[in-house]
Structure 1
Amino acid sequence: MKLSVSATTLLCAISGADAYRSNRFLDARDAKAITDVFAAVQSNIDSLDQAVLAWTCNPGPVLKASYTLISTIKTGVNTVSASANLTLSESLSLLTPVQNLKTHAQTLVNDLKAKKPQIQTDFECDVVRQTISDMSTNSKGLVDATISKVPAAAQDIAKKQAQGILDVLNDAQTSFNTTNCVNA
């Protein structure tokens, strides 16, 4: 009799572990659409940053990379909006990608600020200002779309995490506003 109970307990434990692993796999799969969007945005942030670092006199590559990033964010909003609502565990899986996005965005903003004297000399303040505004508007849309997929119980945490990215963008907008970036 003990063997029968032990075997039953073991089978229940194994099937419970398999169900747990299966749910974790489903969570990762269901959040994949959003993490793929974040990865694409991060890749385009890095491409724009490389263009900013290489910027000497021709703003063409920077503008092209900027427009690509904005387009990727817009597409990402649509992708996230069309995705299924997330579970709590899926939502938690987004914390690291969001933190990575913030770090990469901060690097981009720092590098762009370092180019401000050149931007002013090249009379590009208005273009940079508008581009940052477009990025900020669309990024806010991506943040809102993502938060709408998070369970209500975790939305405050998601908002706090996303605020870091929005703060970086607000810093960029302030650094390149009409007072702080004047064409020379």
Structure 2
Amino acid sequence: MAETEFWITPAAAIASAFPDGLTELSPRAQVNLRGDAEDASFMTAVKTATGIDLPETPNKAATGKEFKALWLSPDEWLLVGEGEAATLVQNLEGALKGQHFAVNNLSANRTIFELSGPHCHHALMKSSEVDFHPRVFAPGDCLQTLIAKAQAIVEQVEEDRFHIYVRSSFSRYVGAWLAEALAEYRLAD
């Protein structure tokens, strides 16, 4: 992705010290989309532009070919993927022309951490008030919460793998926090 290939986040300064199970992902396209999910023409236009049926169920993610869509509110989604954000924005604006919508490239706004392995659920539960136990939070779920008092979006990608989206300015702090949350499990293994 040319537009982000030279980006360095604050977390990059400490990433080499991250324990197994914690990684800062390379930059991804992140586009915020707002519109009326009850308007069939809006939903059809988004599917035409992205190949994704936007999730209408709260706190769910939907995956397409190049991008995935995270439900943030009844009229808001975060589209994330490997493709070019500018192209996605252009495609959405073209498909939605004449409709009431908002689309913004937020790629530089958030850093994405991947938390994985047998202790990822416990590390998240130590870091947030949300119950991330597999009985209540499963692959395909996402939500907005606080991780160590920093605003974050948490998405469960697989049974033992999460993506955590945090503002870039908080990435070093949250990265260090998550590394510390995993520390006790390194000693136990």
Task: Answer yes or no: same fold by TM over 0.5.
Answer: no
The structure with the largest helix share of the pair is: 1
The structure with the largest strand share of the pair is: 2
Q: Shorter-chain TM-score: what band?
A: under 0.3
Relative contact order (C-alpha < 8 Å, sep 6+): which is higher?
A: 1
Give the TM-score of the pair, scaled to structure 1.
0.23
Give the TM-score of the pair, scaled to structure 2.
0.22
